[in-house]
Amino acid sequence: MSAHASPVRWNVDDRARGALDIVLETHLVTARMMERGVAPARLGRASTRELYWSVGQMLAHLTSNGCCIEPGDLYGSGTVSGDGDDALGSLLEITRAGQKSIAIPGGEQRTFLEDGDQVIMTGRCVRDGFVPIGFGSCVGLIDPARPD
């Protein structure tokens, strides 16, 4: 092998069995939807299996560059998105940076989050032949900005 690093190549086995399949869903509930008892609107659904780099590859990259990883450390992978319009991972992607509004049940439109909106993210591991493992929900409510 040469002294120069070889280009990263896809490993078929790693892609087939090494990637974690954590299905993430993002839902939106507007203040108006909450008042009317309307169910959350799903914005997107994607899997970490669709990430360009597997979790193992990301950790190898971090540690090979000198990062000291300890048990219990958290790291962020970035936005998890899939290929289809229904698999985009953020409202910014879905609305094309605010250039295209989306319809919300009840006649509302959104390009960006607004005061009173609630974002719900859920995640669960799935694999054929195994019982899914859920991680619960992460819920955020958009409060109005505080006056100076």
pLDDT tens by residue, 93-146: 999 999 999 999 889 999 999 999 999 999 999 888 989 999 999 999 999 988
Using the CB atoms, write b or e for 123-138: b if 16+ within 10 Å. bebeeeeeeeeeeeee
- The greatest distance separating any two alpha carbons of the chain, rounded to the nearest whole angstrom, comes to 66
Alpha-carbon distance of 128 to 142, in angstroms, equals 37
Alpha-carbon distance of 127 to 23, in angstroms, equals 10
Which residue is listed with tokens 């659904």? 45
pLDDT tens by residue, 35-79: 999 999 999 999 888 888 877 888 888 899 898 989 998 878 888
> pTM for the whole thing?
0.77
- The pairing of strands 118-125 and 108-110 is unpaired
